[in-house]
Every structure is written in structure tokens, then in C-alpha cells.
Amino acid sequence: MKSILLFVIALLTFEVTVAQYIISPGELSAGTHNDVSDPLGTVVPGLTYRKGAVKYNHTNHSFSLGTDAGWLTQFSDGPLPSNWGTTSTNTDYFLYQGTNTIAGTDGIALFDTVHFDIGAGNIMQITNNRQGILDQPGGEVSGGIIIGRALHFNNGITTTDRQKPVNSAIVFVNNAFYTGGLTDAQHVDGFVSEVNYLFGDNTPFGHGGDFTFPVGNGAEVYQLRRVGTFNDGLMIVTVGWVDGDPGATTDPTQGAINPTTPGSLGTGISAVVPVGFWDWHVQDGENLNPGGSEFGGAESLAENQTITVSIPALDGILLGGNASDLRLIGYDAVNFEWKNLGTAGATGLTKGSTLSGIIPAGTTITALAIGSINNIILPVNFKSFTATATGCAASLQWQTGMEQNNSHFIVERSTNGTDFTAIGRVKAVGNSNNTSTYTFTDAAPANGVNYYRITQADFNGKQSSSEVRIVRIQCGNGAVVKAYPNPTAGRVTIQDMGKSVMQVNVIAANGQTVVRYAPTQNQSNTITLNLQQIPNGIYLLQMINKDGTIEVIKLLKQ
């Protein structure tokens, strides 16, 4: 028995350590290259160069960079001021139909043109993070991935690591652009950066003075457009949307809360709308430790910047509020106050209405929010709202900081982010100026993506809703993949219980795959394999699921 156990452990270890496609360091030749299909994804352990006319098809669900590894282009070819910062004709295609991940710690992921062709509704996760020094050879600007020419969003939501807002951001260099990415169903849930590589001749800087950051919260897009001269060398501009009351929610790039108390409101501003804010961060690309310097590493730009934001839905949230009262405001990190940046109100109170203002040259702004020149009245001030997966259930919690004539809350759920259905009702305290906490458990969420929102209902029938939160449930019907009978004399039945198995491998003791089976598209989630032809012994059943997960079951054939 002890020898069998050691064999199984060794076999499992073998699968984990060798079953991954590794791209060898060096230079890829011009032409088309393809991943070798592998359930554990693709790994770049060193420096791999593509210097022109390289087309690479990424067919695995993950693309991982080792420490100090690089997926490099012309950006990294030669010393300053040679070809450094120059784009090439390389094109990358991510093709795996499901959740994809670009992962790594301190790896450099440089793309000229890249297509996220992973399917509408599928998530591209950027978990790689790099803290770089922009004025060193290699194009080592901080960021998760760097785009030299173009990024084509042909997927659903793209996420970056919000705990590392600058170091995990999607970075657009000089005049690099993107297509798609500006809808609720398709945008960046995280941070996007813009940076100039001021080397060489005839280089277009600052996107011709006009760039839109395609950011939001994963359920809704709240893009920010910057218009103005941006020729500042070695500066990185990073933007992301942050849910929550600006006076109670930590600014990710500063690591602190920007207060909204009366003493923190500048001339003409009476209140800050507590729905969220845009984290605006200008950082010196030569500074490896921005958090250790004044204002959390925040800098200013040399020219005026006109900012236009797309606002959340405020109709029904502001009682008696007028769009004409709203102003774009920015937190001035030098004077510690919210500064009025605008002279006109919003175009409306519905979602997608716009609000504009100007960040003056030389002013260090660290956040942008929606202010009002008059006092605002909120029927309910949502201080926070979280939704998390707890086993096969979804746990919801929300807090209010103030309630006026509040009758109850309606808990709503959607599977497409658009059509919501009421699934519960929670009684409210009614009137309060203190923090109140509410909870609700959805015991039967849908398998996959669930969207939740809380709708507040007044005693007079008026309603307003919270921001939307997303919970991903991967439980099927609450069961895991099963294989029976086990031991088996020949036939074995695999029940995937909604896990969407893409391929089944039967692996022998020597690591050889002796049976491969790919279910048909219309096949039910019960698969039967005939194993009578293989010798008796211990095998591993490896199930590769369409969502990128892998399940392994030990099987005894006797």
C-alpha cells in the first residue's frame, strides 16, 4: 500500500512539473508560431524576442512569465537610443475560448499588435505585474502588459490586479490604440496607463492629445477621456474606476482615503456624490518606489488636460438633484482639498451622461469625482456593497450611512447583467444617520456569472439602486466531477455535473496517455469510457474543463 501511495504522489508530481508548454528563450523566426496544446498552459521562463513579422497563436488558457522573463519585441532591441521604443510588425492572437490569463511576477509582456480573440463574454485576466524603470534599456515601464501598436478587445471583460494598480495596468505607449472596450459588456475592470517613449525621431506622443481610458467596475463602463498636450517624458498616467464613497474608500494608488468632510471641499463645492471615483495617477517612470515619496509618488503634467467622464446612473439617487448642479472635481494632493475643475453641469443624470472639467497644468490631482455646488439629499447612502461566493451560495452584505423614509431593500439577480429579477426582500431601519448593516444569502445562484444589485424602496414608492456586483459560481449542481465504478473491470462513467469537460485523458504509471477522449459538443454531462483494452493497474483520470480548470481522479483497473 505504501508503494502504491508513493507511486501516485510521484505520478501527480510528474503531471504538474512537466505537463506545460515551455517557450524556449531566444529569437523567434519570422512566420507563424503556435502553442502546443497543454492543459497547464504556456510558460516563458526566460527572454524571448520577436523582431519582425512574427505571428503567434496562443491556444492555451494561460500565458505565464517567469521572474525577470520577457516576451519582447523591438522595444527591447539595442541600447539607447537605438531601436528602443520602436514597434515592429509582430502580432499575437489569444484564441482559447474561455477565461484566459496573462500571469507572472516581474515579467515583461510587450506586444506590438495583440488580439484578444477568446470569445464574447469571456474574461481576459492580467495578473502579471512589473515594476520597471522607464529610462533603462528594455522598455521596462511598470505594467502588466505593454501595447506598442494596437489592442483589439474581442472578448468580454478584461481585468487587472487592483492591488497593484500601476504595476499590473494595461499600458498604451506613444500612439498605440485599441478597438472595442467601451461597453458594459466589454471594458477593463482595473487600470489602464498611458506613457511616452521619448526616443528616436518622428515618434507620435500622447495619442495626438486625445485618449480615452476604457475603465469600469466589471459590470458597467465609466470611461474617462483626456484631451490635451501630453509630451511629458518618462511620465506614466494611470486611470481606474473605484466603487464606493470617495470619503470612505481607499485610493488604490495613494493607499489612503481622500476625505470629503466640509473642510476638505474647495471653493464652490458643497458635497461629493458617494457613488465612486476615478483614480487619476501621474507617476515618474524612473521612480521604482513611488509609495515612498511625497503624495504617494504622484506628479503633475506640464499642460492643461480637459477631462470628460461617463457617469453612473444618478437619477433616483439624488432627491431633487439637478444635472446642472454637478461638477467634475479633483483631489488636490498638495492643498488636501477637492478642487472644482468644471464650470458647467452634467449632460444628465442617467448612466452614460457626461461631465467635464480641466486639470490645470502643474496641479497634482490624485482622484476625480462627481461634486455638487448645492447640498445633495440621498434617500439611502450606500457606504459599501459586497457579494462573494461561499461554497455554492452567494453571500451579500451592504452598509448604509444614512437612510430617510426607507421602507425596504429588494435583492435582485441577473445572469446577463441587464435583466434583473427580484430574489429577496430585506426590511430597512427607515430613518437613520448611523451605519446600518444588512445581509442576504442567495442559496441557489446560477452556475457561472451572477450579477447582483440592491434596490432601495421609499415608503412613498420611489426607488434607487446600488452599484452592480459580480459573483462567479463554479459548482454546477453543488457536486464535483465523479467517476464510477472505481475500481472498474472495464467501463467507467464520468459525470461532470455541469463542469463542461473538454477532454478526458487516462494516464498510465509511466506518464503515457493511453486513452484520449473529447466529448462532442452536444453530448450530455455523462461520459462512458470502455477501458477493457488497457492492462490492469493504477491510472489517473484527467478531466480538462472548458473553463481552464483540471480535475484528477485516481482510478484502479482490475
pLDDT in tens, 95-114: 999 999 999 988 889 999 99
- Residue 288 vs residues 292, 322, 339: alpha-carbon distances, Å: 9, 44, 29
By C-alpha distance, which of 484, 503, 500 is closest to 492? Answer: 484
**Across 12-17, average pLDDT:** 38
By C-alpha distance, which of 26, 23, 34 is closest to 50? Answer: 26
Q: CB-based contacts of 464: which residues, under 8 Å, 6+ apart? A: 316, 317, 379, 380, 455, 456
Instruction: Return the percent helix, strand and coil in the chain, to nearest 5.
Output: 5, 45, 50
Residue 159 clears pLDDT 90, i.e. is over it: yes
Average per-residue pLDDT in the chain?
83
Rounded to two decimals, the pTM is 0.71
CA 107 to CA 70: how far, in whole Å?
Answer: 6
CA 456 to CA 381: how far, in whole Å?
Answer: 10
Task: Give the pLDDT of residue 12.
Answer: 42
**Which residue type sits at 359?**
I
* Angle of CA points 357, 358, 360, to nearest 5°: 155
**Which residue type sits at 197?**
Y
Q: Does 437 or 511 have the greater pLDDT score?
A: 437
CA 330 to CA 334: how far, in whole Å?
Answer: 12
CA distance between the termini of the chain: 16
Residue 290 clears pLDDT 60, i.e. is over it: no
By C-alpha distance, which of 96, 95, 10 is closest to 545? Answer: 96
**Which residue type sits at 449?**
V
Residue 36 clears pLDDT 80, i.e. is over it: yes
Q: What is the pLDDT of residues 376-425, one digit of tens each?
A: 766 677 778 899 888 778 899 998 877 777 889 999 998 877 788 888 88
Q: What is the pLDDT of residues 163-218, one digit of tens each?
A: 999 999 999 988 899 999 999 999 999 999 999 876 544 566 788 899 999 999 98
By C-alpha distance, which of 328, 337, 333 is closest to 224? Answer: 328
Tally of CB atoms within 10 A around 448: 16
**Whether 229 contacts 303, CB under 8 Å:** yes
**Which residue type sits at 185?**
A
Q: Which of 86-90, 208-212, 481-485 has the highest mean pLDDT?
A: 208-212
CA 155 to CA 171: how far, in whole Å?
Answer: 18
Task: Give the pLDDT of residue 472.
Answer: 83
